[in-house]
Amino acid sequence: MRDFDRYNPTARKRDGRRRGAFTLIELLVVMGILAVLVAIVAGVAGYVMRSANEKDTSATQAILMDAIQAWHDKDTNTLKCYPFTDPNPNNTGGVLVQCLTGFYGAAWPGPTSPSVRAAGEILLKLPRDAWGGGTNEPVKDAWGVAMRYDAAGGLGGRPVVISAGADGKPNTEDDVRSDESQ
């Protein structure tokens, strides 16, 4: 009978305590280790999500820059200009899709101009969550915030598309710009 008690987890030791139970210290150590592991996983997951959003935003910006370049290349004016911005009251740049599709009036080429057609064909490559396809909708970054466009605000006075980044606030260090290499 003694050999049977050795393998029985409910058998009592000679001093009356049960065998096989964890002490309070052991439980606290295990909980501490689990807390550290959860903190590490949460930090890594946040970094991975931010990197994925930055890559998605950069891909969207590349498509937009292709559309802007197509506008420039197909422009029938002798100056071969880039689409310019119509500043809003906050001076953050106009809505990019409206700029590229040319629906602001007489100063803009009509929807049938070669520059608008060339840019419009490229805009169809945008992901559905970045742009719904309407002329009054802004192009959004991976965080769901409208991106800004400046016709001469990039490196060398070239066009630039700017995302506010993860914090959603423009002109901070986490902005994602189309004129910077990622």
Residue whose C-alpha is closest to residue 152's, from 66, 81, 91 = 81
Residue 71 lies in a domain: yes
The answer to the question of residue 182 being in a domain is: no
Residue 34 lies in a domain: yes
pLDDT tens profile 108-162: 455 567 777 777 788 888 888 887 666 667 788 899 888 888 877 888 888 888 8
CATH code of 63's domain: 3.30.700.10
Q: State both tokens at 53.
A: 């959003």
Residue 144, judged by CB atoms within 10 A of its CB (0-12, 13-18, 19+), counts as: exposed
Model confidence at 90, pLDDT cuts 50, 70, 90, reads very low
Task: For residue 151, give both structure tokens.
Answer: 């016709």
For residue 48, what are the domain limits?
2-177
Domain count, the chain: 1
